[in-house]
Structure 1
Amino acid sequence: MSSNRVTNFLVPVFAVLLGMIAGSIVMLVSGYDPIAGYSALVYGAFGDSYYIGETIRQATPYILAGLAVAFAFRTGLFNIGVEGQLIVGWLAAVWVGVSFDLPKIIHLPLAILAAAAAGALWAFIPGFLKARFKVHEVIITIMMNYIALHVTNAVIRSVLSDKGFKSAKIHDSASLQSEFLQSITDYSTLHYGIIVALIGAVVMWFLLEKTTKGYELRAVGFNQHASQYAGMNVPSNIILAMVISGAFAGVAGAMEGLGTFGNISVKAGFTGVGFDGIAVALLGSNNAFGIILSAFLFGALKVGALEMPSSADVPTELVDIVIALIIFFVASSYLIRLLLSRFQKEGK
């Protein structure tokens, strides 16, 4: 393993450790016991089969949201609209799950594909504006998050709901829920979506690393002028990169609609999964395997935090502070890289 690869692996590890240490200091200053707090967090994430199931379930949409952010970033784009693409994907998946009654072998893939198509369509708009009119994708994707939220709420109220705030339950033929997985995890909300998420990670890795089109997409992201000079169609590659990124985000929404909840309800605000996907991708170094590990860490932090108030009298908000500190140290990776390079030089 090269020195650069070792550094790329160690940077997020050190970022997590520094985030935990800084979080401990915050707990001490606030009058809480960090050992008890972290012990409760670990128990709440991995203490028994139920908690493990919940941690894996929580990591499922994080993996796909992280892939969506990372795919765009690897191709030179900043997709801040993963949250909105996730929401419309959730809506499309539930719509198909409620509206049709088909054999499971057809219905479930159809619902997931509908979610991917909805997310891709929502991402196509900023991709087209970027390619055609040079409009910065960050601005458009941020604004489209709000459009997605309110349009989805309007559709739920007027089309999918007879009570005004929640759709009907999807048919069993479109459900990712599994009695087997729930039974071995003490009836947690774990579902087959984790398999879909892991397949998504393999698809991203294979597409970017092992195909000509993936090389072309990365080349356009690295240098548009050189790619155009080499005969590549830069505008179409920009649009395609955003569409694929949006498809990953849409499938993340399907995991919630077809797996965790089995319906969709009117939302007062964003789910937060799409925004957390940015942090997951950042911590995972925009690498498919790294994103899987990062998503499980974030899932463990989110689920484990629920145990902290009852077991250690530590508020769950402190976990959000720890997550923020981890992201801060990842963003400050230049300092960590500098320290690691000096350490390696002294070791020689």
Structure 2
Amino acid sequence: MKNQIIKLIFAITIVFTTFSCTSDDNNKEIAKLPTITETLNADANFSVLVKSLRITGITNFSSAGSYTLFAPTNTAFAAYTSTLFPTGINDATVVEPTTLSTAQIAELKKILQNHVLAVGTKSYDLIASSTVSGYVKTFAPGQGSTTLSMFVNKPASDILVNGGATNGGATITTADIDASNGIVHIVDAVIKLPKLVNHIIANPDLSTLYSVVSSTATGTYGDQSAVLATLNGVGPLTLFAPLNDAFNTATAAGGFLTGTNATPTNVSKILRYHLSNGNLTSSSATSWTSSSATTDVTITTLAATAQTFKITLGTLKIKEFPAIAVPASNIKFVNIQATNGNIHTIDRVLQPILP
């Protein structure tokens, strides 16, 4: 009996010792993770990014927290050009102490903020699917108190940010680099600040809308370049963007966007009926109006006769005004923020009064 007790005590001691060692090893492993800043400092390919963060005063990545950083390499920065950076950005551009102008620093800061999310997020949680919208909010300022939206999806083998480099976005070349204060995804291009058109192009569910607004004089819907220019303008504008399925219904036999309604002039009027001046935002994902609102919201559109529609109080349902005998259109996703306005996707092509 005495020997059995001794054996039992010995076995328990071994178990607790093993568990303690394992826990200690795990704690040591967690403690070894570098911060995002340390991760970037360890790779010479990020020297431009590291100095740009310092010059613009973005210091989050050295402290505790949880962030996602889309990290452009030096090659990506060298390829970025704008009015203020006509020859790109490189180690000679971001020397310390800085020789950049106030305007250049301001642009660089917005660009960098557009690469940062508030929560450390793995790539598979960013990718759009049937249950995930694909949209996240960056730190970059949009209109008023809003911040810019980012669209992430995986249409084929690559994970794209805002539709890839050809649309001012990027491709994630290396994903899910763990840091003690977040996640780093290496990207092949500097992600530019998106306009309304960039967000339309990036989202495959808005591809039909883009084909309509980019129609040329010889295209299906005639020359819609004026509408496209409006979407690319300074703004701010609000776009109620019909999804592909909405256009499929509207262009089917007997649909609203057929026959004489599909002439270039009428198509232009229909498109402008989906646009309004101002950066109009929904109160929530389930209601356009705040809890204190007492009436429906009237939206004045850019249609030639300033036609309006209404968003029913406490809902995300749109009804044409004057009322027509069709079911209300539903706003499906709200507050997709661009630099020049806001997008809300809808499930039906809206119907203005046509000649």
Name the TM tier (shorter chain): under 0.3
1 or 2 for the larger relative contact order (CA 8 Å, sep ≥6)? 1
Structure with greater proportional strand content: 2
Could you tell me the TM-score, scaled by structure 2's length? 0.22
Larger radius of gyration, structure 1 or 2?
2
Structure with greater proportional helix content: 1
